[in-house]
Chain A
Amino acid sequence: MAMALRLYLLLIVFVSSAIVSFSLYEDQVGLMDWHQRYIGKVKHAVFHTQKTGRKRVIVSTEENVVASLDLRHGEIFWRHVLGTKDAIDGVDIALGKYVITLSSEGSMLRAWNLPDGQMVWETSLHSAQHSKSLLSVPVNLKFDKDYSILVFGGGYLHAVSPIDGELLWKKDFTAEGFEVQRVLQPLESSIVYVLGFLHSSEAIVYQIDSKSGEVVAEKSKAFPGRFSGEISAVSNDKVVVLDSTRSILVTISFVDGEISFQKTLISSLVEDSGEAEILSPLLSNMLAVKVNKRTIFVRVGDQGKLEMVDSLSDETAMSDSLPVADDQVAFASVHHEGSKIHLTVKLVDDLDTVLLRESIQMDQHRGRVDRVFINNYIKTDRSNGFRALIVMEDHSLLLLQQGAIVWSREEGLASVTDVTTAELPVEKDGVSVAKVEHTLVDWLKGHILKLKGSLLLASPEDVVAIQEMRMKSSGRSKLTRDHNGFRKLFIALTRAGKLFALHTGDGRIVWSTLLNSPACARPSGISLYQWQVPHHHAMDENPSVLVVGRCGSDSSSPGVLSFVDVYTGKEISSSDIGHSVVQVMPLPLFTDSTEQRLHLIADTDGHVHLYPKTPEALGIFQREFQNVYWYNVEGDDGIIRGHGMKSSCAGETADEYCFTTRELWTVVFPSESEKIISTLTRKPNEVVHTQAKVSTDQDVLYKYVSRNLLFVATVSPKGAGEIGSVTPEESALVVYLIDTVTGRILHRLSHQGCQGPVHAVFSENWVVYHYFNLRAHKYEVTVVEIYDQSRAENKNVWKLVLGKHNLTAPISSYSRPEMFTKSQSYFFPQSVKTIAVTSTAKGITSKQLLIGTIGDQILALDKRFVDPRRTLNPSQAEKEEGIIPLTDSLPIIPQSYITHSLKVEGLRGIVTAPAKLESTTHVFAYGVDLFYTRLAPSKTYDSLTDDFSYALLLITIVALVAAIYITWALSEKKELSEKWR
């Protein structure tokens, strides 16, 4: 009995002190979260359609994903995301059942089972140097052990058995100056030919026995001149190379004994020739060359003679050639014409024979066709049909068949680079709620169903109906603003320069737009800012976002600004700004009368430019001209510079929106001992609810809340590499908190024997950062909290009553800061990819750290766990305050993974945005996959849950009222009978 009692007590204690867990019930999955799976921009595609089973295509992508897609619907059968450094070089199918991938510059060969994607074997190949990597899988469907996979990579040629991945032999080609260009094994031959160039001027062909790896013969021939690296293998015994002047095509024939060169001047093929470029498609006995923005097809004759057979306009994408029936070879080309694309499949030998010509209406916002992969099938009338997989400029993947788009995948979303949020339109009078909601009867029915569910009376069919009802709950995916702020748009900018608006309700794409610029064809997007967020004119003005892009990859290339309407996705205007973009600074609190946010853009010359370029904005800016400061981080030199505004750059240009700046402070990290690896500031739009923190002993701590704090982490240059590459003595991690107005170092802490990478999050008055401790062989998380000392005296109530406090005094960065920090370190058992923090509308709700773990999941960790005031034995008062006893490591509670069973593959970033409801925050995670959920770090204390049964409440009230009436009537009756007695 006593034992039971004790257990019971223990349980009570446990329940009362248990950390509020945020796990979901199984039937809650998908109610407010969604998950989208992507693969990224496709690089290679191999079709697998021979068998009668499922038709599929194996693709490898630029996000290092190898996936098997259903050819009918475009769904993913299986997918594997390789590491970020494990780029896929080649993919093929061996033995008809294995998918072979070569990755990591030819040093990793893997076989995956074709139907289910299980890994069959993995072979790590020795690699000595950087080189091209070539994968050659024999094309035979028979299970023949004699054939091996030939892999060239890292200076070695390897022969690997396709059955178990065993390394059969390897041959060293690491000789100085020797570059292998082509590895070839003709069908039914036991000789492998390896063609390479020595010092780009001598062609060498090795003949290697495919069984033993012995060199059978070696031939070489010097070339008078130099080769460029571009090569096209046109047939089994010939390759065509471009020479270093890019004006001569050289045909090299090498199989039967001797090597022979045959030079052809490009100017003899086309009249107005310039620099030529060999295009990548592999066509048999033909090659495609790009000259003067035109694509010419050159046929290679038997004796290596070249002749031009056709020429096409530049904007044509071509596929590799594909054998069709009767020893014929066909290839596909796609070109644009207006809003249509034309797909043409021709025979390589006879370009006039068009096997297929189709025109398909194409969305303008997909841009041009980038890549084409074709596959043929036999129609019922025995003729050849073709399906084409095309990759568009916005990275989307489409399957074309019989003149229509069978399916499309928005693969651009796999490479999101920046995310911002936007509100939906306000519900206007025209759209009535009743029309969208159901009738009252339906509503009541629904609630009665729910009631049944909550009273455990529901039959299995009812449960299904309830679940379905919850999933598409009426207002979830409406395109209007809701009262709680749960419906929002996430605007995502992708690497391809496309902007997507995703609805938080169901994750669908509301609109998408590809950026355009008058200056260059496709600017690359850099970042995204909220440009105009109307509050006063919310009914009649649309918010807009600013997309900053640049023409070209270099940081000094001219920038492009584009303003996009959030409601419609239309580009309002796009301007070529004529200067480079190094840094974009939204000015806090500065908006003009149309509520456009003022932005400063710094260029490479040290000038800053004000946007929008209106006299009004200029007026606002000049009022605060003296108080605008900015800083830049020169990571390579280890210098952080602070700047102040100086004057208008009237002397140099006539542009009155351009300003010169001057250097006000510098922080110089000694290059021999410190290297900047991470910098971080607070989110500019973060809301801090209270400055004071009341501790248990009725003491007040004032948070040092400054928007001008910069967190910097540096490591010893030696320790900048991989974890474990240095000894603890050689590496130190130093963290700084720097005031960005004056350049003061407010806090500096060095961690000896620690190493990056540092992942940090900065919010309110605290920074939490994650790094590796080499001494303890563990990851650590350190929290630093900054408190203001200068306000610490304002504790006396009388002072506050009499107004003798300095709480309302303006704060100047030039005052000597009186602050102190508290910090504590904890071990954290996992490697981290990114950290974020929840943000709510008013900042009242307690915060959670959202840790993107190495397993691509997101862990929600209460900020209370990383409180520097945790002690080993907290006093009763401290326990009441919610201080958790100190432990040396942070707990990972499996239920607090907000991604539950899902994985956000290739996780890169987590974005949080407040909902209108104080308790709730939106969380959006992006990587190869996208994941969204709504989170309530302190539970939804300010609203009823979704499953709250209004019907039950109503019925209870009705029942109560009825009971009151009945009892009243009864008592009346009784009283009457009493009186009659």
Chain B
Amino acid sequence: MYLGRTVKVFGSRESELLVDDDEFGLEGAKPQSTQQQTPTTRKRYSDPDSDSKVQFTLEHGFGDSHFSPAGTFSARLKSWSHGGKTLTKLRFSRNGFSDEEKDTFKNLLTGDDFYRIRVPSSVISPPGKEFVVASVRAASLSLPFLRCLPRDGLDEHFVIHMEGANILAASYGSLGACQYPRQFKLPAKWSFNSHTILKCSEQAPRTPIFTEEILGGENADGEVEPPPERSFWAKYWMYLIPLGLVVMNAVTQATNMAEEQTGGQAGGSQVQQSARRR
């Protein structure tokens, strides 16, 4: 079950572009049985009683520095009748880099150090006791040279794994491939292109049980649809060919023998034959 939503936020402006594609096509979109697919999200949002809005902050740190707020996630927390909670409609607004942060970031790039982010592990009671941390080499974040990225700027990509209202893990990185050795290049534009994906766990397909089906099927098929009768040749060619060879062999030998006889005892037989003719 995927709950994938993409939110693109440019710079600090709250201009959102809602793209409703399910996901980015990674992680084996298994052909799931359709009943496990979530019902269309619109329907759920229309139910205001069980929805509540939650907000949690994204914090970032440069290298080993302390974490400071960097943006806010807002989402709707949907409570289900059976007690479960799911997070939907995740939006993210990124604070722009201040000048000071820009300098730190530049230093980070030159040193190819880690840019770290963290989010609370529970969205209901942030800040929870534990934080989910992810980090990336700064240089791999600023990749204007990559063919997969036409824009030049800072490109970030969040994948947030949820279990109920808890965040299990956050993957953070650039959208495209990261080349190694990492190249040092400063971003041309200090704005973030943020992409977020929310992921819930995928249900394992049920182990198929088809002993009875097979047995039933066999019984039914055995009477209804007998295997197509093959031609005599198709069935017994492996016997027929050797047989043919043997026969041919025997025939040639017989003819040979006859010839030999005719050759060896030419006179006699002719005599005999002539005698008979006479």
The distance in angstroms between the C-alpha atoms of A746 and B164, with both chains bound, is 19
Do B166 and A734 have beta carbons less than 8 Å apart? no
The distance in angstroms between the C-alpha atoms of A564 and B208, with both chains bound, is 52
Known: A665-B133, A749-B202. Is A814-B166 also a contact (CB below 8 A)? no
B135's partner among A637, A665, A668, A812 (CB-CB below 8 A) is: A665
| Binary B-proximity of A789-829 (CB < 8 A = 1, otherwise 0) | 11000000000000000000111101111111111011100
Tell whether A187 is near chain B: CB-to-CB under 8 Å. Answer: no
**B208 — which chain A residues lie within 8 A by C-beta?**
886, 888
Tell whether B180 is near chain A: CB-to-CB under 8 Å. Answer: yes
The distance in angstroms between the C-alpha atoms of A61 and B210, with both chains bound, is 47
The distance in angstroms between the C-alpha atoms of A673 and B173, with both chains bound, is 28
B161's partner among A639, A662, A748, A820 (CB-CB below 8 A) is: A748
Do B207 and A669 have beta carbons less than 8 Å apart? no
Q: How far is the CB of A630 from chain B (nearest CB, A)?
A: 14
Q: How far is the CB of A713 from chain B (nearest CB, A)?
A: 12
CB-CB nearest in chain A for B141: A814
Tell whether A667 is near chain B: CB-to-CB under 8 Å. Answer: yes
CB-CB nearest in chain B for A773: B207
B177's partner among A5, A666, A745, A816 (CB-CB below 8 A) is: A816
Do B179 and A812 have beta carbons less than 8 Å apart? yes
CB-CB nearest in chain B for A787: B28
Tell whether A646 is near chain B: CB-to-CB under 8 Å. Answer: yes
Tell whether A411 is near chain B: CB-to-CB under 8 Å. Answer: no
The distance in angstroms between the C-alpha atoms of A898 and B140, with both chains bound, is 50
Tell whether B167 is near chain A: CB-to-CB under 8 Å. Answer: yes
The distance in angstroms between the C-alpha atoms of A298 and B30, with both chains bound, is 76
B162-186 contacts to A, CB under 8 A, are 163-164, 166-169, 171, 173-182
Known: A744-B171, A773-B207, A888-B209. Is A674-B177 also a contact (CB below 8 A)? no
Known: A667-B168, A670-B121, A749-B202. Is A815-B132 also a contact (CB below 8 A)? no
- Per the CB 8 Å criterion, the residue count for chain A at the interface is 56
Known: A816-B174, A818-B26. Is A664-B135 also a contact (CB below 8 A)? yes
Known: A670-B163, A823-B204, A827-B207. Is A815-B27 also a contact (CB below 8 A)? no
The distance in angstroms between the C-alpha atoms of A841 and B60, with both chains bound, is 46
Q: How far is the CB of B138 from chain A (nearest CB, A)?
A: 10
**A820 — which chain B residues lie within 8 A by C-beta?**
26-29
**B134 — which chain A residues lie within 8 A by C-beta?**
664-665, 742-743
**B39 — which chain A residues lie within 8 A by C-beta?**
none
Q: How far is the CB of B176 from chain A (nearest CB, A)?
A: 7
**B181 — which chain A residues lie within 8 A by C-beta?**
810
A780's partner among B202, B207, B211 (CB-CB below 8 A) is: B207
A-B contact count (CB 8 A): 153
Q: How far is the CB of A627 from chain B (nearest CB, A)?
A: 9
Do B179 and A872 have beta carbons less than 8 Å apart? no
**B175 — which chain A residues lie within 8 A by C-beta?**
816
Known: A639-B130, A666-B132, A812-B180. Is A749-B169 also a contact (CB below 8 A)? no
Do A826 and B28 have beta carbons less than 8 Å apart? no
Tell whether B57 is near chain A: CB-to-CB under 8 Å. Answer: no
The distance in angstroms between the C-alpha atoms of A886 and B208, with both chains bound, is 9
Tell whether A776 is near chain B: CB-to-CB under 8 Å. Answer: yes
B176's partner among A644, A816, A819 (CB-CB below 8 A) is: A816
The distance in angstroms between the C-alpha atoms of A915 and B87, with both chains bound, is 53
| Binary A-proximity of B138-169 (CB < 8 A = 1, otherwise 0) | 00100000000000000001010101101111
Do B169 and A888 have beta carbons less than 8 Å apart? no
Q: How far is the CB of B183 from chain A (nearest CB, A)?
A: 12
Do B207 and A814 have beta carbons less than 8 Å apart? no
**A662 — which chain B residues lie within 8 A by C-beta?**
64, 114
Tell whether B93 is near chain A: CB-to-CB under 8 Å. Answer: no
The distance in angstroms between the C-alpha atoms of A391 and B166, with both chains bound, is 54
Tell whether A359 is near chain B: CB-to-CB under 8 Å. Answer: no
**B168 — which chain A residues lie within 8 A by C-beta?**
667-670, 745
Q: How far is the CB of A612 from chain B (nearest CB, A)?
A: 29
**A872 — which chain B residues lie within 8 A by C-beta?**
210
Tell whether A752 is near chain B: CB-to-CB under 8 Å. Answer: yes
Tell whether B201 is near chain A: CB-to-CB under 8 Å. Answer: yes
Q: How far is the CB of B202 from chain A (nearest CB, A)?
A: 5
**A742 — which chain B residues lie within 8 A by C-beta?**
134-136, 171, 173
Q: How far is the CB of B204 from chain A (nearest CB, A)?
A: 5
| Binary B-proximity of A731-748 (CB < 8 A = 1, otherwise 0) | 000100010001111111
Q: How far is the CB of B207 from chain A (nearest CB, A)?
A: 4
Tell whether B199 is near chain A: CB-to-CB under 8 Å. Answer: yes
Q: How far is the CB of B125 from chain A (nearest CB, A)?
A: 12
The distance in angstroms between the C-alpha atoms of A827 and B64, with both chains bound, is 49
Do B164 and A670 have beta carbons less than 8 Å apart? yes
CB-CB nearest in chain A for B28: A820
The distance in angstroms between the C-alpha atoms of A782 and B206, with both chains bound, is 11
Q: How far is the CB of A155 from chain B (nearest CB, A)?
A: 40
Q: How far is the CB of B68 from chain A (nearest CB, A)?
A: 17
B43-90 contacts to A, CB under 8 A, are 64
Do B133 and A747 have beta carbons less than 8 Å apart? no
CB-CB nearest in chain B for A810: B180
Do A814 and B173 have beta carbons less than 8 Å apart? yes
Tell whether A626 is near chain B: CB-to-CB under 8 Å. Answer: yes
**B205 — which chain A residues lie within 8 A by C-beta?**
823, 825
Tell whether B6 is near chain A: CB-to-CB under 8 Å. Answer: no
Q: How far is the CB of A198 from chain B (nearest CB, A)?
A: 44
The distance in angstroms between the C-alpha atoms of A809 and B159, with both chains bound, is 25
Known: A888-B207, A888-B209. Is A748-B201 also a contact (CB below 8 A)? yes
**B210 — which chain A residues lie within 8 A by C-beta?**
872, 888
CB-CB nearest in chain A for B118: A666
**B182 — which chain A residues lie within 8 A by C-beta?**
812
Q: How far is the CB of A790 from chain B (nearest CB, A)?
A: 7
CB-CB nearest in chain B for A811: B180
Tell whether B116 is near chain A: CB-to-CB under 8 Å. Answer: yes
Tell whether A84 is near chain B: CB-to-CB under 8 Å. Answer: no
**B171 — which chain A residues lie within 8 A by C-beta?**
742-745
Q: How far is the CB of A84 from chain B (nearest CB, A)?
A: 29
CB-CB nearest in chain A for B208: A888
**A616 — which chain B residues lie within 8 A by C-beta?**
none
Do B27 and A749 have beta carbons less than 8 Å apart? no
A815's partner among B28, B133, B135, B177 (CB-CB below 8 A) is: B177
Q: How far is the CB of B134 from chain A (nearest CB, A)?
A: 5
Do A782 and B140 have beta carbons less than 8 Å apart? no
**B121 — which chain A residues lie within 8 A by C-beta?**
668, 670
Do B202 and A815 have beta carbons less than 8 Å apart? no
**A734 — which chain B residues lie within 8 A by C-beta?**
163, 201
The distance in angstroms between the C-alpha atoms of A639 and B121, with both chains bound, is 11
Tell whether A663 is near chain B: CB-to-CB under 8 Å. Answer: yes
Tell whether B193 is near chain A: CB-to-CB under 8 Å. Answer: no
Tell whether B106 is near chain A: CB-to-CB under 8 Å. Answer: no
Tell whether A974 is near chain B: CB-to-CB under 8 Å. Answer: no
Known: A666-B132, A743-B134, A776-B209. Is A812-B178 also a contact (CB below 8 A)? yes
A816's partner among B64, B157, B161, B202 (CB-CB below 8 A) is: B157
Tell whether A340 is near chain B: CB-to-CB under 8 Å. Answer: no
| Binary B-proximity of A623-644 (CB < 8 A = 1, otherwise 0) | 0001000000000010100001
Tell whether A750 is near chain B: CB-to-CB under 8 Å. Answer: yes
The distance in angstroms between the C-alpha atoms of A810 and B201, with both chains bound, is 31
A626's partner among B112, B140, B206, B236 (CB-CB below 8 A) is: B112
The distance in angstroms between the C-alpha atoms of A947 and B234, with both chains bound, is 40
Tell whether A438 is near chain B: CB-to-CB under 8 Å. Answer: no
The distance in angstroms between the C-alpha atoms of A812 and B130, with both chains bound, is 28
Tell whether B249 is near chain A: CB-to-CB under 8 Å. Answer: no
Task: Sample 18 A-B pairs with CB under 8 A, ordered by A number.
Answer: A626-B112, A646-B64, A669-B168, A670-B168, A742-B136, A747-B28, A748-B201, A748-B202, A750-B202, A809-B179, A812-B180, A815-B140, A820-B28, A825-B204, A825-B205, A825-B206, A886-B208, A888-B209
A residues apposed to B, CB below 8 Å: 5, 626, 637, 639, 644, 646, 662-670, 673-674, 734, 738, 742-752, 773, 776, 780, 782, 789-790, 809-812, 814-823, 825-827, 872, 886, 888
Which 4 A-B residue pairs are closest in the complex by CB-CB distance?
A820-B28, A670-B166, A668-B121, A814-B178
Q: A810-B180, A815-B176 are in contact. List 18 more A-B contacts (CB 8 A).
A: A5-B236, A665-B133, A665-B134, A666-B169, A670-B122, A738-B169, A742-B135, A742-B171, A743-B134, A743-B169, A745-B169, A776-B209, A780-B207, A812-B178, A812-B179, A814-B137, A816-B173, A816-B176
